[in-house]
Structure 1
């Protein structure tokens, strides 16, 4: 005997109408089981038809609306590509403006460098610390050639 059987017997002893209600519920459950067994094939066909209709009538939109959304998204993608290209050009010019690197493309692009000059300077310092040969070269001092203003003509 399970706990539910015990509960049913206790309830039936206390209230004789509960037994009648319990048997009525059992009858309804068995009727539902028989209908489910008989209608399994019919339900499967109904379900297939419902899925087919849902595929046709589901969340579909008019063709013009979809084309409008696609063209709008294409414009946004083009703008994003252009913004990325402008950001890369700006980064190269900011690096060139420091004058510390011979080739500004030696420093990898990073969006943080566009907003924070200290981050840009730190990145250049780090790069030059690892690869000093990338520094810009400038001749310094008197190289000993060329016309001199001290001599006689």
Structure 2
């Protein structure tokens, strides 16, 4: 058989001008196996079980604290929006951390939301609507009511 059939040609992928290396498949496999043995022995660090469990507990505590901080930040955001009094429901404005640090950004976000959705504006009833406590509710004059209707 031909020498070319027994050889494998390996080309560096960087450029076409690079040199072509002729090697036998057995040599390539031996070099690859030798390279993996070196890396396997250096990356096999082991730690005691107690140490790993301690790290996992510590990490779980950090995750819990971060989750609680996120919940508190969302509650603070809702209360800051409620304090503005511009929205009927303060949870209508989506949470954004930038609103916590900059009151002007919060006000601008509320104004932009109200420009897009004016039906979210806070509605307050004012004046006499004929129900509930009135100024004359404390003293009822039945004779005056009868005279007024006559």
TM-score range, shorter chain: 0.5 to 0.7
Q: Residue deviations 1:52-71, cap 9 Å, x none?
A: 36424425131434433333
Distance in 1 (CA, whole Å) between partners of 2:74 and 2:96 is 8
Q: Structure 2: state its 5+ residue gaps.
A: 1-22, 143-150
- In structure 1, the residue matched to 2:45 is 60
* Alpha-carbon distance change, 133 to 49 in structure 1, aligned in 2, over 3 angstroms: same
Q: Residue deviations 1:99-126, cap 9 Å, x none?
A: 2211111000000111111111111111
Q: Name the SS for the 1:51 alignment partner.
A: helix
Of Structure 1 and Structure 2, the greater strand share is in: 2
Backbone CA RMSD of aligned residues: 3.1
Q: How does 1:118-133 map to 2 (within 5 A)?
A: 118-133=104-119
Of Structure 1 and Structure 2, the greater helix share is in: 1
Between structure 1 and structure 2, the one with the greater Rg is 1
- In structure 1, the residue matched to 2:5 is none
Q: Structure 1: state its 5+ residue gaps.
A: 1-36
- Choose which of 78, 81, 84 in structure 1 pairs with 2:64: 78
Distance in 2 (CA, whole Å) between partners of 1:44 and 1:130 is 66
Give the alignment's TM-score, normalised by structure 1: 0.60
